[in-house]
Each structure stands twice: as C-alpha cells, then as structure tokens.
C-alpha cells in the first residue's frame, strides 16, 4: 500500500500541471486575485465617497436654512445651468439625462406647515440603481438636521426649555447591551466565509490527482500493469487514496499559510487591523481543530473523486463527471449560512454543513466540543463507507475495463 502511495506521489511531483494547481495556484494566483478584487472594491468606494453631486432645489426660498446647508456642503454643488427645473417630473428627466445628480422638490414652507400642525414632505429625486451610492444618506442627514432645528424652534415657541426638549421628544431611550464580545461579533461575519475557501480547496486538491490516478492510468495503459503486481485491490486503492488525501490536505495547508503571510504583509498598511485583532484571540488549538475537522472531509471527497475517476474511461470523461461535484460541496456550505442555522445535535449529522458550522463557531470562540465529537463520528463513518464503496468499485472488472 505504501509502495503504491510513494510511487504515485513521485509521479505527482513530476507532473507540472498538478504542482501548478496544488502549489502555485494557492500561493500566487489566489492572493493576487483576492488583492485585485479588494483593490477594485476599495477604489470604487473611495471614488463614491469623494464624488461631488450636482443638485437643484425647487422652491428653495421655502427652506433657506436647508438650501444654505446644501450650498456649503463639501459633497454637493448647485446646478447653475439654464434648464427649467420646476417640478418633480422635470427633476426626474434632468437626473435621467445626467444634467443633475439629485433634485429636491419642496412643496411648501416647512415652518408654516409646522405652525399649522402639518408635516412637510421633501421629494428627493436621484438614481438609486448604483451599488455604492451616498446621495440618499447625505441628503437625509441634511434634512434630519434641518428638521431638528424646526422642532427645536417650535418647542421653544411653546415654552419648552432647550435642555428639556430631548426628554419631551423621546421620553424613553433604548440602550443596547451586547453580551457578544468582539471576537464573537466578527467571527459571526467572517467565520462563515472561511469554509467557502477551505472546503472547495480540499476538493480541488483531491480532484486533479484523482483524475490522473484513475482515468489517467486507463489512458496511459498502465492500469493493467499495476493490477499484475502482487498487491491486493484493497492495497492499490488505499495507496491511491492516501496519495489523493495528502494532496488534498497539502492544497488547503498551502493556501491557508499563503493567505496568512499575505494578510500579515497587508496588515502593515493598517487596513486589516480590526480583522487581525479579532483573529489574534484565535489560538493555535483552534487552528488545529479546524484542520482536524477538514481531515474527514478530505477523506470523503478523496474517496468520492477516486471512485469517479476509476469509473471514467478517459481524462476528459472524469473531468465531466467531477464538474457537478462542486455543486454538492457548495450547496451544504450555503445551507450553513442560512439564517438561524446553528450547530446542534441535528445539524452535526449533515455532511459538510456540520463542518462549516463548526468552523464558524470555532472562529467565534463559542464551539461546543460535544457537537464537534459528533461531527467527527458522523464524518469518519461516512468517509469509511465511501472508501469501502471505492474499494468494492475497484474490484469490479466491468468498472475497470469499461
């Protein structure tokens, strides 16, 4: 069994394509792609933050204080063109044509309406289809400030002292006392995405060697030679299985190590300090536990891809069979991030979903070790069953020589 494993490992190390997918891709390509996406996202957010919006206020004489605030606001510039903008429809057309970015229609003087016990309704016209858009929040902040001034003025006229107006407007305040610490808060948001990175990498690290060790042997015509050796079918399968398992775990380890190094380098710029401070409380034992949970997942996926590769007639056919397998991995991970999904006695028995939930709980620092024990038991049983099926699959002549 170990002779087969060492022989397959030597052949894998000579295969440049496998080395690229298992080592070069996680070390270089993935970090560069993640950094490029982060750069584009931060650049788009910065441009949206610094953008100066052209505005026009219809009937600005009704609210001069509000108009002055917008005029001196650093993020807004008054429209000085000659277009006739005197209604909501005209403002809508101007926004669509790109003449202005935002238009505000004031129907009547707010102070007079307030004196009559009526509310004023400012209509803000803008294009809200952009993903990163600060127009509405900025206009709302100015309107809220203006509304607060009108309220203060009205209460003063009614004889309410300024220092008592807060209690009159809001007699009861709600103060949130969060029992979750910083690690639990950030772990809930970030911990759910770690399985998205690790588990597919475990699959990727197993798929490419499996295709070569099963369907590749058939294409090269070396499978018959291997079957003539004095080794049993079980020993042959276990040798190939261990090779695929080592490759799968190595791919995940290399990727996580690479990401940690790149994050450490990026932390020098200060942008990742909040995340790093949260992960600072994650101990070595937690990281060890995460990789221990990935081990039975790697065993399950290695058995599965080896069985598929043995069944396939050729390299291409094996690739076609393994394509839908990625969906079988992603769907359980998606289930783990659904609202109110938590690690308990029931979810601990759902393959892959249980590991994804456990990883999130480990990052949060709230993992239940009894549930982790159930996950190990369920995963090991499933992995053993899949490996037994793979051995039986490899023993059938009609499968090997289709």
Q: Hey, where are the domains in the chain?
A: 1-31+182-401, 52-169
Quick check: 55 pLDDT over 90?
yes
Q: Are 103 and 91 contacting, i.e. CB atoms less than 8 angstroms apart?
A: yes
Name the more confident of 103 and 207: 103
Name the more confident of 111 and 33: 111
Angstrom distance (rounded) from CA 402 to CA 392: 16
Quick check: 149 pLDDT over 80?
yes
pLDDT class for 295, splitting at 50, 70, 90?
Answer: confident
Quick check: 56 pLDDT over 90?
yes
Mean per-residue pLDDT over the chain, rounded? 81
Q: What is the dihedral of CA 25, 27, 28, 33, to 10 degrees?
A: 80
- Look at residue 99 in the predicted model and tell me its pLDDT: 92
pTM of the model: 0.68
10 Å CB burial of residue 395 (0-12, 13-18, 19+) is: middle
pLDDT class for 18, splitting at 50, 70, 90?
Answer: low
Element (H, E) at 54: strand 53-58
Q: Are 402 and 311 contacting, i.e. CB atoms less than 8 angstroms apart?
A: yes
Domain 52-169: assigned CATH number = 3.40.190
Strands 53-58 vs 76-78: parallel, antiparallel or unpaired: parallel
Name the more confident of 16 and 68: 68
For the chain, what percent of residues have pLDDT higher than 90? 13
Quick check: 280 pLDDT over 90?
no
Per DSSP, the three-state class of 76 is: strand
- Look at residue 124 in the predicted model and tell me its pLDDT: 92
């Amino acid at each position: 069994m170990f002779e087969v494993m060492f022989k397959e490992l030597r052949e894998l190390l000579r295969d440049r394509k496998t080395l690229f997918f298992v080592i070069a891709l996680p070390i270089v390509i993935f970090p560069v792609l993640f950094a490029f996406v982060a750069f584009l996202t931060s650049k788009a957010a910065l441009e949206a933050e610094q953008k100066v919006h052209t505005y026009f206020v219809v009937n600005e004489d009704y609210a001069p204080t509000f108009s002055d605030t917008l005029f001196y606001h650093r993020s807004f510039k008054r429209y000085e063109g000659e277009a006739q903008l005197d209604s909501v429809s005209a403002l809508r057309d101007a926004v669509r044509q790109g003449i202005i970015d935002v238009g505000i229609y004031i129907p009547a003087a707010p102070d007079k309406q307030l004196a009559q016990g009526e509310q004023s309704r400012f209509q803000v016209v803008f294009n809200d289809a952009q993903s990163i858009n600060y127009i509405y929040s900025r206009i709302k902040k100015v309107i809220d400030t203006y509304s607060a001034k009108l309220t203060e003025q009205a209460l003063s006229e009614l004889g309410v002292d300024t220092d008592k107006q807060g209690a009159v407007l809001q007699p009861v305040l709600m103060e949130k006392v969060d029992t979750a610490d910083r690690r639990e808060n950030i772990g809930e948001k970030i911990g759910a995405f770690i399985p998205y990175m690790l588990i597919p990498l475990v699959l990727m690290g197993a798929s490419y060697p499996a295709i070569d060790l099963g369907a590749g042997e058939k294409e090269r015509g070396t499978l018959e030679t291997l079957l003539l050796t004095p080794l049993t079918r079980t020993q042959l399968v276990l040798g190939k299985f261990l090779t695929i398992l080592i490759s799968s775990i190595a791919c995940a380890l290399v990727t996580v190590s690479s990401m940690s190094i790149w994050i450490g380098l990026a932390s020098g710029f200060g942008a990742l300090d909040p995340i790093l401070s949260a992960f600072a409380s994650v101990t070595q034992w937690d990281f060890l536990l995460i990789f221990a949970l990935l081990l039975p997942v790697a065993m399950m996926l290695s058995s599965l891809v080896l069985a598929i590769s043995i069944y396939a007639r050729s390299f291409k056919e094996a690739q076609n069979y393994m394509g839908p397998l990625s969906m079988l991995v992603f769907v359980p991970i998606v289930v783990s991030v659904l609202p109110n999904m938590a690690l308990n006695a029931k979810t601990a028995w759902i393959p892959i979903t249980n590991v994804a939930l456990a990883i999130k709980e480990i990052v949060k620092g709230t993992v239940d070790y009894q549930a982790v024990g159930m996950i190990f038991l369920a995963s090991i049983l499933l992995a053993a069953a899949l490996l037994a099926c793979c051995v039986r699959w490899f023993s059938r002549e009609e499968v090997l020589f289709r």
